[in-house]
Amino acid sequence: MALTGCAPGRFDANGRPRELVSGFSTLETNPARIGALTNYQHYIERETGLPLRSFRAAGYSGVALAMENDQIDFGIMGPANYATIKKEMGDGVDAPLTMKEKDGTINYIAVLFVKASSPFHTLADLRGHTMAFADVNSASGYLIPRYYMRKEGNDPEKFFSKYIFAGGHEQAVFSVLNGTTDAGVTWASGVGDEAEGFSRGILRRLVENRSLDMKDLRIVWKSGPIPNGPFVMRMGLQPDLRQKVIDAHINLRQADKAAFEALTGGQGQGFVPAPPGFYKVIFDIKAEEETSRRTAA
């Protein structure tokens, strides 16, 4: 898949795209996974009758900005990022699909972890110590942990002696392993064997590529459930083409399991329709957090 931006004039006189463009964030998608997506590209091309390219953004906000500017047509993003783009685009964007886990759930969690050799065993033990959030635009990597910690009376602005944004979920893990910070946070499915990094998520991915042994980390806090990340689409796509894209992704796991796993980085059951109002809780949390920051300022 070409990892370039979109060329001008990709729409015909009727506004129909001459090609489709899928968006990825480098915070979630490493080069190895991108390289494994050739089968996914060919599958989408067969199902839609249009060429597919990828737009690779440096961060979550880049994917949102590209979609706002009609540079990408669809992509998987975090729920907090979707809340941002929904606020800007309104009815111009929608999230028709989400991911179903192995156990049938459609949620995941944020996990806060420390080195297993550290003296920290609970969140309370980390008061006055250092923390690595993944990214300011991440739900599990910042928005949700911040929200739940505040609700529990542990405002991160005062609870930690310092916190940083690591630049991505994997970077947050290595920030702890390398001793840069005492704690970090990332996302996990919350189901499956914790000793193996759960069934899906950054920890699982690092375990599978032998970059992490879960014996080196200790999880000391877990959030409440977070709606699984949405598959987001521009509503400017013609209805027939939009439906082809949706159907192709619903059928992807059965049609090509390897392509599905390369795209999603996990072992879930596949894409399923998102329930009505599924992401409202994220919209509400994001609005509340933005209000709290303005009030604090």
Q: Does CATH number 3.40.50.300 belong to domain 20-103+228-291?
A: no
pLDDT of residue 258: 85
pLDDT of residue 28: 54
What dihedral angle (degrees, nearest 10) is formed by the CA atoms of 131, 133, 139, 144? 10
Q: What is the mean pLDDT of the chain?
A: 89
Q: What is the pLDDT of residues 225-275, one digit of tens each?
A: 999 989 999 999 999 999 999 999 999 999 998 888 888 876 689 999 999
pLDDT of residue 32: 61
Q: Please tell me the distance from the alpha carbon of residue 72 to that of residue 36, in angstroms, as a whole number.
A: 20
Q: Please tell me the distance from the alpha carbon of residue 253 to that of residue 192, in angstroms, as a whole number.
A: 20
pLDDT of residue 37: 80
Q: What is the pLDDT of residues 101-145, one digit of tens each?
A: 888 899 999 999 999 999 999 999 999 999 999 998 889 999 999
pLDDT of residue 111: 98
Our CA angle for 181, 185, 190, nearest 5°, is 150
CATH 3.40.190.10 residue spans of the chain = 20-103+228-291, 107-226
H helix intervals, the chain: 31-35, 38-48, 60-68, 79-89, 144-151, 156-159, 169-177, 202-208, 239-250, 252-255, 257-264, 280-296
Instruction: Quickly list DSSP for 68-107.
Output: HTTS-SEEE--HHHHHHHHHHHGGGEEEEEEEE-TTS--E
199 secondary structure, DSSP code: S
Mark residue 20 as left, alpha or beta (left: phi above 0; alpha: psi -120 to 50; beta: remaining): beta
- Residues in CB range of 288: below 8 A, 6 or more apart: 147
**Residue 4 clears pLDDT 50, i.e. is over it:** no
pLDDT of residue 187: 94
Instruction: Kindly state the average pLDDT of the residues 154-159.
Output: 94
CATH architecture group of domain 107-226: 3-Layer(aba) Sandwich (3.40)
pLDDT of residue 5: 43
pTM: 0.82
pLDDT of residue 78: 84
pLDDT of residue 248: 97
At 2, is the pLDDT very low, low, confident or very high (cuts 50, 70, 90)?
very low
pLDDT of residue 60: 66
**Residue 194 clears pLDDT 60, i.e. is over it:** yes
**Residue 91 clears pLDDT 70, i.e. is over it:** yes
Q: What is the pLDDT of residues 28-66, one digit of tens each?
A: 555 566 666 888 999 999 999 999 998 877 766 778 788
What dihedral angle (degrees, nearest 10) is formed by the CA atoms of 228, 229, 233, 239? -20
The mean-pLDDT minimum among 116-130, 216-230, 283-297 falls in 283-297
At 200, is the pLDDT very low, low, confident or very high (cuts 50, 70, 90)?
confident
